[in-house]
Structure 1
């Protein structure tokens, strides 16, 4: 009984994670500015990957597999914000960011 419930919850997490990852991909293609695309590439995509990992973990239930999935999740959480920061900084330095869209401009030369 418990295995069946875990399988259904895992399937739900897999579907939700896939939909969030799809939404992230569509957002990257459809959003007009670099900052909007950067947001779409990091926020829903990370949550989508974490939901996919939870879904796979609920389906596998093997300690070795769970350790590997936890590492993947930790590295995803550690690298996605850094990558978004670097993309945003590179876009700003290349002049691809509209200054009117910024509330505060910490990178501007004083």
Structure 2
């Protein structure tokens, strides 16, 4: 096993740990917003570490660029989806606005 293989193995294992930690947070946290926070942060970090770990194993810079672009797209879509889910949850949890009669 050479240095590149050791680097890849280390980063992929740490990335898998963050995926596992996000899954535990998804199962154990009590409300939707904390679950959403746990899964988005841990999964984005886990995917980033796995992508970094796979970079030395790729044969061409084009493949590396594709991997980094996929990682960026996942980060962007995760942020957009978690924002939409969180705003919907906050809207549903807020009390209805009452219109007071000022006459």
Shorter-chain TM-score: which interval?
0.7 to 0.9
- 2:21 is matched with 23
Gaps of 5+ in 2: 98-103
After TM superposition, the score normalised by the length of structure 1 is 0.78
Gaps of 5+ in 1: 100-107
Larger Rg: 2
Equivalent in 23, 37, 40 of residue 42 of structure 1: 40
Count the aligned residue pairs: 98
After TM superposition, the score normalised by the length of structure 2 is 0.83
Q: Give the root-mean-square deviation of aligned CA atoms.
A: 2.3
The equivalences for 1:84-95 within 5 A come to 84-95=82-93
CA distances 1:53-78 after superposition (whole Å, capped 9, x unpaired): 11111222422321210111111221
CA distances 1:8-35 after superposition (whole Å, capped 9, x unpaired): 1111000000110111111111100111
- 1:71 is matched with 69
